[in-house]
Each structure stands twice: as C-alpha cells, then as structure tokens.
Chain A
Amino acid sequence: MGIVEAILLSVITAATPLVLAALGELVTERSGVLNLGVEGMMVMGAVCAFAATQITGSPYLGILAGIVCGAVFSQLFAFLTLTLVANQVATGLALTLLGLGVSGMLGEGFLGMQGIKLQPIAIPLLSDIPVIGPLLFRQDIIFYLSIALVAGVHWFLFKSRAGLKLRAVGDSHASAHALGVNVIRTRYLAVMFGGACAGLAGAQLSLVYTPQWVENMSAGRGWIALALVVFSSWRPWRLVAGGYLFGAVSISQLHAQAFGLGIPSQLLSSLPYLATIIVLILISHNRRTTLINTPASLGKPFVPDR
C-alpha cells in the first residue's frame, strides 16, 4: 500500500465520526430541535463502547453499547426541552458538560488499557479492485454503516412520508400539529436518532480511530459536527463532502507535524478549529440563503394547546 493510499485511508477514518455525529444532528435539527449536546453524547458513546468491549471482549457489543448509550443519554435532553420546554441552547450545553463529567468518571478504571480494535471486513470481489478496493471495501463495519445511514437518511427525509412529516414538524410545528402530526413524539424520536448516531460516532473513536479510552477524547468533534450541519445546509450528501474535507484537514495537520516543517505544532493542531470558523463564515454570510435553508422552527419551543 502506497503512502497516498495510507493517507486517504486515514482521512476516511478521521471523517467517519464527523459524518456520523453530524448526520444524527441533521435529523434532529430537521425536526426543529437544536441539540448542542453532541459532544457529550459522543464522549458517552466512546466510553460505553470501550467499556463494553473490554468487559465482553467483543467490539460489536461495544458498538451496540455506544449506540444505546448515546440514545438513552439524549433522552435526558429530550425530556427537558420537549416535555419541560427548557431552553434548548442551555440544555444542550448542560448535556455536554454532564457527558464530559460522567464519561470521565465511568472511564477512570479503563484509562491506559489496551483497546481491542475493530477489524475491517473485506467485501469479496469488490475489495480486489485496485486502489478503490482497499480504500472503500476493506473497511470496518462502522464505515459501511455511516455510508448506508447517509443514503438511508436521504431517502427517509426526501422520499418517505414519515420524513415529510418530520420536515413539516421542523419547519412549522404549529401547522404540523394542526394537521394531526404528533410534534412532540416526532421530536423525541429525532433526538433519539441523533443520540444514537453520536454514540456510534463515539464508538468509532474508541474502537477504530484510537482504540483506547482517553478523557475528553472527542476533543471538540461534536462541535465540529454541529458546524458541519450548517455547512451541509441540512442535506445529507453535502454533509459527507464536508465531513471528508474536515477529515482531510485534521489528517494533513498530523502529517505536517510528522514532517516537522518548522511550524509550531500548536498552530497545526488549531487548524481544524480555524477551518471550522472560516467555513462557517463562508456558508452563513449570505443571510438570505441561510434563512431559506435553516429549518424554520429550529430551536423554538413547542407547547401544544389543548
């Protein structure tokens, strides 16, 4: 395997958690809920996946644990913002702070342990294609899942009846409610999907990206995922492009550090964060297109009148 392939492979590994977490948040935001707790759900997924893998010895059970953990954790946010109509921004922050705290405590016993890396699965025939084969068809299951989920979410949102309802809830909850759509239930499910995806993304971090548990190992990826949703204008396939772009930025800074070009490593490490800011500026400086793309009820509380 050449150096180019190795770099591309690492870009894919770096991009997958971003795509997954952002995809979940995309669905959540399409239903009109802004959940800033992605970072917290992600890091909870990471610690649960790692712990379950260590205890059971099976990374697949670890993945399952990560997904379940993210989904359950997200319901805390859902209960506060949907049932108790608490402020979504503040509650999302609370979820992140709590997630970082709880994961630090749960993970304390697992610090420094050698992790079990999720093994790739080669798809027969396809994996033998030169260049593309090893890149795309000799990957772990989380990568395959991420692509399948993007396709699935795209189909769900734009081709299915339930997806249409979900978008209606996100664009005008009052109208959707009047038409008989259960706004609150739809949003609960959307938040849960977002949590499950963030949990899966976390599992990727602690089982594939760096197979071990490190405190705060999500390192701001949850926030970058939030920015990616804006970048994608709430469209699943654009999200993949954005995710891979960011994956490339974060990998290129690692390689630049390895070459030691005389640039301070801290400057290189801050590149993904600076890139996020620049991308956000480019995407949102045009007020009108932002307004058109953003789900109209995003972040607005809904109390059904009875």
Chain B
Amino acid sequence: MRIELEKRAKISTLFSILSPFIAFLLMIVFGGIMFALLGKNPVTALYSFFVEPLSEVWSLHELAIKAAPLILIAVGLSVCFRSNNWNIGAEGQFIMGAIAGSILPVVFYDWQSPLVLPLMMLMGMLGGALFAAIPAFLKAHMNTNEILTSLMLVYVAQLFLDWLVRGPWRNPGGMNFPETRTFAANAILPEMIASGRTHWGFAFAIIAAILVWFMMRYTLKGFEISVLGQSERAGRFAGFSSRRMIWFSMLLSGALAGLAGISEVSGAIQQLRPVISPGYGFTAIIVAFLGRLNPLGIIAAGLVLALTYLGGEAAQLSLGVSDKVTRVFQGLLLFFVLSCDTLIHYRIRLVWYRFTASDLDGSR
C-alpha cells in the first residue's frame, strides 16, 4: 500500500475548518488507547482528563489563568510563523519579561503608586521584546539562524532567573528559600470577576488576540506579513522589507511573551521563583498551530491546551497517572494537527500496490 498526494486546485475550506477538530478527535482516540495500555479504563480516564476540570467554577478559573499566557504568546508566535520567522524562544522571552516587570515590585518594594502596575506591564513587554531583539538582530544583520539562537537563549534566561532568585533578589526574610519577596498589594494584577482567581492577564490575552486578528485581516501590515511569509521574493517586488519584518514580528512576539510573563508572575504567582512556567513558551507553539495561526482560533486552542494542563493534574489525583501524560497529549496533538493540515492542500489517496507493466520498464 502506498499513500499518494494529489494537489487540490484550491485550498479546501471544509478541511481548513475541520482539521483542528479531526486532530483533537485523533488525540482523544490515541489518548484512550494510551490509558488502556496503562491499565486504566479509557472512558473514565478521558472523562476525568477532559471533562471534570470543566465542571466546577474554580476549575474554570484555573483554565482561564492557564490559557492566558498560552494565548498571549501564541498570538505573537502566529505573526512570526506566518512571516516565516521561527521564534521558538518564547519561553525565554516570557521569563525575561517576568524579570523586567518584577524590577519595580522587588527592588522598589516600598514604592506605592497606582502607576506601579501599568509600569510593570510595560517593562515586562519591554523585557520580552529586548530579549527577542537578540535573535532578531542576529537574523536580520548577521544571517544567523533564529531557531537555534532563540532556543539557546531560553536556557540562558532560565539560568539568569535562577541566579536572581538565589542571589541578589532573594527574599531577605525568607529562610533562604530561593524566591523573592511576595509582591505588595499594589503590584498584584487584580481579579477580573468576583467568582474566582482569573486575573486581568486573561483580558490582555483576548484583547491582544482581537487586535492582532484585526491587523492581519484589515491592514496593510497584515498583508505584508502574509506576502513575505509565502514568498520573500514577491514581497520584495511589492516593496516590503523582509529585514524589517524580522524585527517587527520578533519584537511583537517578544513583547507579548513578556507581557504574558509579567501577568503570570504578578497575577498568579505573586513572586519570582526559580521556575515560573510549566513550558508555556513551548506549549504556545502547539496552540499557534492548533489555532491554525489565526488569532481567534488561537483563543479556542489556548483553552484546549490549558485543559490538558488541568487534565494532567486531575488525572494524577483521581487516577494516579503521572502528570507527564500532559506533555504526551500535547505532543500528540501537534502531530495530528500538522498531519491533518495536509488535507487542506492535498487530496490523499491510498494506492494498493499492483504489479503493472510500468514496474518492469522502470519508468515508475
């Protein structure tokens, strides 16, 4: 048996809508098989993984809290990926945003002012953007592969944060624990609704998604992004500069990742610790693709991936399954999304092997 691809005359609208859903279904099926192999009842396991976290108010709030950074980062990444700039160091930009935004609440702990929070958010964006500026500069002016440089910088950022919270920024009254002081009340991102912990980071995410969606759809900049992403040469003829696009997309995604970082720290953790992210920067790559690089799709995809985090925790508690299952689910999902995307551009045919004359003369 052999699989043959046949190019569609035009992109299939049906499959460009369906493919994320098919991918999700495939993940559920494979997840069920995996649970069965682990000796669990697949139905109850999947139920506690994907449904139970949605059944209570507090867990819905947790979902929003986890979805916020994923959506923020993925929206920025979608601009990068669409313009063919492979920023995969969002995790590092997230961390540096969190650090830059925490300068005020940690170093100037006593400064009380309503300006503190907005300044923190701004500095977070600045921190993320500056950190993304390194791979941007190296790609635009030194011809260096941004995939590798942005990823290497993730390790550097993680080690830098580790040094800060164990060294100069350690809480003086914290019994030597590697963490900063808990932020003062005026440096904590407030809750959005009275019923639970969801903080304003979620609102930032939705706003960012809508703004970027508008930009991609209705502005010249959005057109420029798609053109340069699909064909750099065509973009050059239209007078677009791919070098400027590198800067634009990297700085934008860096700023959004930085905003995600400081929102997470200020809203959810309320201090800096050696580890502040369960891999949001990498999971956001999956979110971006599951959302088909469309900011509105990314909102939905962010909620789905946030659910896998909660599901992992729930499954660990109720089934005794390792929470590592989460990462497996996330990886599987990305695989299925990428394979289903083939259906958008190609018709897939299974060809059962037949021995024909053309096999003998070697023409095929």
- Chain A positions within 8 Å of B, measured between CB atoms, are 36, 76, 80, 83-87, 89-91, 93-94, 97-102, 104-105, 108, 180, 220, 223, 226-227, 230, 264, 266-267, 269-270, 273-274, 276-277, 280-281, 284-287, 290, 303, 306
Contacts and interface: CB of A to CB of B under 8 A. Distances in A.
Contacts of A93: 88, 282, 285, 334
What is the predominant secondary structure among interface residues of chain B facing chain A?
helix
B332 A284 contact: no
Contacts of B334: 90, 93-94, 97-98
A202 to B, nearest CB: 17
A274 B149 CA distance: 9
Contact of A223 (B142, B151, B348): B151
B4 A281 contact: no
Contacts of B286: 94, 97
A269 B342 CA distance: 41
A280 B144 contact: yes
B152 A230 contact: no
Contact of B144 (A94, A104, A226, A284): A284
A86 B339 contact: yes
A230 to B, nearest CB: 7
B148 interface: yes
A43 B143 CA distance: 30
B272 to A, nearest CB: 14
Nearest to A102: B328
Nearest to B167: A264
Interface string B154-179: 01100110110001000000000000
Nearest to B363: A180
B142 A284 contact: yes
Nearest to A77: B335
A104 B324 contact: yes
Most chain B CB atoms below 10 A, which of A90, A220, A285, A290: A90
Contacts of B151: 220, 223
A284 B5 contact: no
Interface string B115-156: 000000000000000000000001000111101110111011
A86 B324 contact: no
B338 A281 contact: no
Contacts of A266: 159-160, 162-163
A154 to B, nearest CB: 24
B325 interface: yes
B233 interface: no
Contact of B342 (A84, A180, A277): A84
Q: Which 6 A-B pairs have the closest CB atoms?
A: A98-B331, A101-B327, A266-B163, A266-B159, A104-B324, A94-B334
